[in-house]
């Protein structure tokens, strides 16, 4: 009898706990902070997800990847977001294990301002040479050799780069470090670097503005930004030796052919495969493997599962490249391992 | 007391009550309260300085004095030197003052001494409206309107005339130290103008009348009786403008070119202390990097305080010359 009593008591207790959780979750706010690049698609997801689960509201501050990493480490948010994977050093500062959940990908394009907006083809040598300040003129044989059908002017190349720290710069410098030993040794990879040459523009709009207004300018901007502003951009030779046009398809192709480790801290620049565009990068959500608040953890996992299935389908409309199916499966498996 | 109170009306009674009690508690409370407020401002300044110093302790230890005298800013190798930023802040503010001070003081003189009454208020309102334009809007205007115009018209013209000096030499990109200075000038113009106008208005009419009585022309009256008398105040207005110029961030970042280098040419791109913080703080992920940015903040804080102290000293030397000149 006493055993049964105790069991009933426990059951009732559980009911009370569940009831409390249910009422608490009725107005649950999920706080996130971090990267600016995926902000448009994340806000779309948060908007749409309210229709799926009205009990969760999202509050996302796009304060930059550095801020996202710092806030998730300090546990002031429920999830962080970053355009670059966290370093081992930063991961070791976190009180628990942080998982990287890749969501969507984007690309950098080489945009330029030349009379008549010719379609250009560039290879790694030419791009690295220009950004190292070694190729100074538009009619340099390294550029002209790949573009025999275009008459290039005897004009100085005005190099434009981002002045603010950004994931875009991370992708760009990561690519250059992979294709040019000299770049790797002299400059390296980071969200902002010590540029050997060029002018700094603040944000995509600053770089794009300077390219649009300066005859002979060349710089890098996000693919989305170039598409929306109708800027001409170059086809780039990939590691398979093919010139590839930057597009959502060629980004997803790069994601499919790149070597992706199990912790999902990967770089997909200079990916192998004939159809891969070489200057792409993914963006990640950062969550703790062991969730502190079980109710929130459950909701977060539900959201991540939704985002990686239904959410991915919305990516293309907003000019983001979705993850390839195979990678999505791997990420979903990892999401299932989140404990709460 | 009760006798007086019963015969008076309630409102009057409360006044009498208050006046009848010569305790002075209120006075003392008021004095301490205002003292506390004044000290709070001082404490705030020290707290900001202390926080900045604490936030950058690692960088200060690592780089020491080299931070102020080296020019490499390399987040990958974690080598940080602030010299180009200090130079950029100083030069862009100086350019801004050179452009803005004559303009704003002339505008203030016109508005107080020469302009017909009906035109004064509209112009004053317009100038004050200029101060209300958000920095980022001015920056966008800078990128899309000012820079193209500077590159195609103003800069080539300057180069043609002054190209022989190192100041206006080298290739023209549009974005440049000079463009940064011009945009700061636009932003500090309203404050210098309004403060100068208030100061000129406070010059007693007796001064002007006395000068006229001595047979001075309008220009002489303005120069001797008004400007000379108000010199100290006008200097204060310029210092206020300088304070703003040193810390101006967003608009400058958008037009200065963001290249940490020291070049004699004003056509070359530069970088300021405030700009590098605005640009790089959000994505700084390593400790040393972040601390170096904190130290940049500390340097900017120091420069601002130093500039103000210097201004105070200068003000004193002006103060000693004002009396004889004004009497002359």
Q: SS3 letters for A222-251?
A: EHHHHHHCCCCECEEECCCCCEECCCHHHH
pLDDT per residue over B204-223, tens digit each? 999 899 999 999 999 999 99
CB B283, CB A64: distance < 8 Å: yes
| Chain B CB contacts of A69 below 8 Å | 285
d(CA B285, nearest CA chain A) in Å:
5
Cα angle, residue B125 at apex, residues B119 and B131 outer, rounded to 5°: 140
pLDDT, residue A87, reads 87
Mean pLDDT value of segment B305-322:
77
Query: Torsions phi, psi of A27, nearest 5?
Result: -125, 65
Nearest by CB to residue A63, choosing from B148, B258, B282, is B282
Mean pLDDT value of segment A151-161:
93
Model confidence at A113: pLDDT above 50:
yes
Are A190 and B174 in contact (CB < 8 Å)? no
Are B279 and A200 in contact (CB < 8 Å)? yes
pLDDT per residue over B230-282, tens digit each? 988 899 899 999 999 998 999 999 999 999 999 999 999 999 999 999 998 88
Are B280 and A166 in contact (CB < 8 Å)? no
Q: Which of residues 88-127 of A touch B (CB under 8 A)?
A: 89-90
C-alpha separations of B35 from A113, B24, B29, B38, B39 in Å: 61, 17, 10, 5, 6
Strand partners of residue A57:
A29
pLDDT, residue B323, reads 42
Whole-angstrom Cα Rg for chain B: 26
| SS3 state at A72 | helix
- By the 10 Å C-beta count (0-12 exposed, 13-18 middle, 19+ buried), A48 is classed as middle
Enumerate residues 6+ apart whose C-beta is below 8 A from A289: A96, A97, A98, A99, A337, A338, A339
| Chain B CB contacts of A190 below 8 Å | 75-76
Residue B206's CB is within 10 A of a number of other CB atoms, namely: 9
State the sign of the Cα–Cα–Cα–Cα dihedral A200, A206, A208, A211: negative
**Alpha carbons A148 and A145: distance in angstroms, whole number:** 6
Catalogue the E-assigned strands of chain A: 28-34, 56-61, 79-82, 98-112, 121-122, 158-162, 199-201, 217-222, 235-237, 243-244, 280-288, 321-322
C-alpha separations of A206 from A163, A218, A272, B260 in Å: 9, 13, 32, 17
Mean pLDDT value of segment A1-14:
55
Are A164 and B174 in contact (CB < 8 Å)? no
**Alpha carbons A309 and A323: distance in angstroms, whole number:** 10
Highest-scoring range by mean pLDDT, A125-129, B132-136, B140-144: A125-129
Are A165 and B254 in contact (CB < 8 Å)? no
Model confidence at B44: pLDDT above 90:
yes
Nearest by CB to residue A165, choosing from B174, B254, B282, is B282
Chain B contact present for A198, CB below 8 A: yes
pLDDT, residue B328, reads 36
Name the average pLDDT for chain A.
88
Confidence of residue A165 (pLDDT cuts 50, 70, 90): confident
Are B285 and A90 in contact (CB < 8 Å)? yes
pLDDT, residue B10, reads 65
Nearest by CB to residue B76, choosing from A67, A163, A193, is A193
Task: For residue A118, give the H/E element and its range.
Answer: none
pLDDT per residue over B59-114, tens digit each? 999 998 889 999 999 998 889 999 999 999 999 999 999 999 999 999 999 999 89
For B315, how many CA atoms within 13 A lie in the half-sphere containing its CB?
A: 16
**Alpha carbons A256 and A241: distance in angstroms, whole number:** 18
Query: Which of B82, B172, B259, B283 should one mutate to test binding to chain A, selecting the residue with the greatest count of A CBs within 10 A?
Result: B283
CA-wise closest residue to A326 among A315, A339, A312, A340? A312
Question: Residues of B near A (CB-CB distance < 8 A)?
Answer: 72-77, 143-144, 147-148, 151, 171, 173-175, 253-254, 257-259, 269, 271, 275, 278-286, 290
Catalogue the E-assigned strands of A46-205: 56-61, 79-82, 98-112, 121-122, 158-162, 199-201
| Chain A CB contacts of B147 below 8 Å | 213
pLDDT, residue B321, reads 44
DSSP letters spanning B31-59: HHHHHHHHHHHHHHHHHHHHHHHHHTHHH
Nearest chain A residue to B258 by CA distance is A200
| Chain B CB contacts of A89 below 8 Å | 286
CB A169, CB A192: distance < 8 Å: yes
Task: For residue B80, give the H/E element and its range.
Answer: strand B79-80
Q: What percent of chain A has pLDDT over 90?
A: 68
pLDDT, residue A104, reads 94
pLDDT, residue B322, reads 44
Q: Which of residues 15-74 of A touch B (CB under 8 A)?
A: 63-67, 69-70
Mean pLDDT value of segment A71-93:
91
Confidence of residue B170 (pLDDT cuts 50, 70, 90): confident
Domains and CATH numbers, chain B: 56-317 (1.10.3720.10)
Predicted TM-score (pTM) of the model is 0.82
Are A194 and B275 in contact (CB < 8 Å)? no
Enumerate residues 6+ apart whose C-beta is below 8 A from A255: A105, A268, A271, A280, A282, A321, A323, A324, A327
User: End-to-end CA distance of chain A, in Å?
Assistant: 34
Which range among A271-280, A290-299, B315-324 shows the weakest confidence by mean pLDDT? B315-324
d(CA A20, nearest CA chain B) in Å:
38
**Alpha carbons B111 and B196: distance in angstroms, whole number:** 10
Are A163 and B258 in contact (CB < 8 Å)? yes
pLDDT per residue over A63-78, tens digit each? 888 889 989 999 999 9
Chain B contact present for A201, CB below 8 A: yes
**Alpha carbons A267 and A13: distance in angstroms, whole number:** 49
Are B283 and A214 in contact (CB < 8 Å)? no
d(CA B77, nearest CA chain A) in Å:
8
For B235, how many CA atoms within 13 A lie in the half-sphere containing its CB?
A: 18
Mean pLDDT value of segment B41-64:
92
pLDDT, residue A9, reads 57
Task: For residue B79, give the H/E element and its range.
Answer: strand B79-80
Nearest chain A residue to B73 by CA distance is A194
Q: Please give the distance of CA B258 from its chain centroid, rounded to a whole number.
A: 21
Confidence of residue A5 (pLDDT cuts 50, 70, 90): low
C-alpha separations of B171 from A257, B155, B163, B261, B265 in Å: 44, 10, 11, 15, 9
Nearest chain A residue to B249 by CA distance is A202
pLDDT per residue over A166-179, tens digit each? 888 999 999 999 99
| Chain A CB contacts of B143 below 8 Å | 205-206, 209-210, 213
Chain B contact present for A168, CB below 8 A: no
Place of tokens 């480790």: A261
Kindly state the DSSP code that residue A137 receives in the 8-state scheme: B
**Alpha carbons B150 and A114: distance in angstroms, whole number:** 20
Model confidence at A44: pLDDT above 50:
yes
Are B77 and A64 in contact (CB < 8 Å)? no
Kindly state the DSSP code that residue B296 receives in the 8-state scheme: H
Name the average pLDDT for chain B.
88
CB B80, CB B59: distance < 8 Å: yes
d(CA A215, nearest CA chain B) in Å:
10
Are B253 and A202 in contact (CB < 8 Å)? yes
d(CA B64, nearest CA chain A) in Å:
21
Model confidence at A22: pLDDT above 70:
no
Q: Could you give the dihedral angle defined by the CA atoms of residues B75, B77, B79 and B85, in that order, rounded to the nearest 10 degrees?
A: -30
d(CA B171, nearest CA chain A) in Å:
10
ipTM of the complex: 0.78
Mean pLDDT value of segment A51-65:
90
Q: What percent of chain B has pLDDT over 70?
A: 90
Q: How many residues does chain A have?
A: 340
Mean pLDDT value of segment B304-323:
76
């Amino acid at each position: 009898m006493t055993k049964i009593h105790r069991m009933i008591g426990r059951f009732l207790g559980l009911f009370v706990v569940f009831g409390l959780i249910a009422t608490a979750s009725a107005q649950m706010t999920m706080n996130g902070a971090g990267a600016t690049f995926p902000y448009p698609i994340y806000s779309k997801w948060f908007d749409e997800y309210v229709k799926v689960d009205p009990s969760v509201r999202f509050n996302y501050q796009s304060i930059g990847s550095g801020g996202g990493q710092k806030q998730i480490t300090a546990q002031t948010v429920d999830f962080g977001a970053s355009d670059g994977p966290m370093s081992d050093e930063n991961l070791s500062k976190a009180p628990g294990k942080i998982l990287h959940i890749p969501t969507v990908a984007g690309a950098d394009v080489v945009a330029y301002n030349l009379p008549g907006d010719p379609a250009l083809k560039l290879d790694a040598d030419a791009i690295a040479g220009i950004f190292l300040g070694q190729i100074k003129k538009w009619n340099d044989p390294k550029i002209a050799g790949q573009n025999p059908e275009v008459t290039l002017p005897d004009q100085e190349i005005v190099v434009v780069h981002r002045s603010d720290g950004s994931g875009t710069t991370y992708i760009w410098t990561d690519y250059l470090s992979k294709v040019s030993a000299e770049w790797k040794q002299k400059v390296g990879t980071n969200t902002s670097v010590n540029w050997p040459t060029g002018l700094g523009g603040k944000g995509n709009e600053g770089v794009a503005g300077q390219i649009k207004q300066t005859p002979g300018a060349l710089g890098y901007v996000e693919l989305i930004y170039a598409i929306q502003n109708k800027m001409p951009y170059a086809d780039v030779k990939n590691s398979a030796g093919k010139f590839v046009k930057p597009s959502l398809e060629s980004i997803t192709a790069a994601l499919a052919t790149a070597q992706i480790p199990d912790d999902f801290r990967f770089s997909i620049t200079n990916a192998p495969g004939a159809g891969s565009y070489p200057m792409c990068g993914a963006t990640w959500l950062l969550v703790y493997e062991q969730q502190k608040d079980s109710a929130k953890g459950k909701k977060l996992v539900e959201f991540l599962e939704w985002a990686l299935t239904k959410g991915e389908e919305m990516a293309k409309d907003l000019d983001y490249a979705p993850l390839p199916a195979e990678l999505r499966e791997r990420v979903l498996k990892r999401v299932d391992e989140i404990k709460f | 007391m009760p006798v007086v109170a019963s015969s008076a009306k309630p409102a009057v009674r409360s006044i009498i009550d208050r006046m009848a009690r010569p305790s002075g508690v209120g006075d003392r409370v008021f004095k301490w309260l205002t003292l506390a407020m004044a000290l709070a401002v001082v404490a705030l300044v020290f707290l900001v300085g202390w926080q900045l110093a604490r936030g950058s302790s690692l960088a200060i230890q690592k780089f020491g004095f080299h931070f102020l005298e080296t020019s490499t800013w390399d987040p990958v190798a974690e080598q940080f030197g602030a010299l180009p930023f200090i130079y950029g802040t100083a030069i862009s503010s100086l350019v801004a003052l050179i452009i803005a001070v004559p303009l704003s003081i002339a505008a203030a003189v016109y508005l107080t001494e020469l302009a017909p009454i009906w035109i004064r208020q509209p112009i004053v309102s317009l100038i004050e409206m200029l101060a209300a334009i958000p920095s980022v809007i001015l920056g966008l205007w800078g990128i899309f309107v000012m820079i193209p115009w500077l590159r195609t018209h103003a800069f080539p013209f300057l180069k043609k005339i002054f190209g022989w000096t190192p100041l206006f030499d080298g290739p023209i990109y549009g974005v440049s130290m000079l463009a940064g200075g011009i945009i700061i000038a636009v932003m500090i113009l309203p404050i210098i103008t309004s403060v100068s106008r208030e100061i000129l208005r406070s010059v007693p009419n007796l001064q002007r009348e006395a000068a006229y009585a001595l047979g001075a022309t309008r220009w002489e009256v303005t120069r001797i009786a008004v400007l000379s008398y108000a010199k100290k105040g006008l200097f204060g207005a310029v210092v206020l403008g300088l304070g703003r110029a040193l810390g101006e961030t967003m608009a400058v970042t958008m037009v200065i070119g963001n290249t940490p280098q020291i070049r004699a040419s004003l056509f070359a791109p530069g970088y300021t202390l405030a700009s590098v913080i605005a640009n790089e703080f959000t994505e700084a992920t390593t400790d040393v990097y972040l601390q170096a940015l904190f130290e940049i903040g500390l340097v900017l804080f120091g420069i601002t305080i130093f500039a103000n102290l210097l201004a105070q000293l200068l003000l004193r030397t002006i103060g000693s010359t004002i009396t004889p000149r004004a009497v002359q």
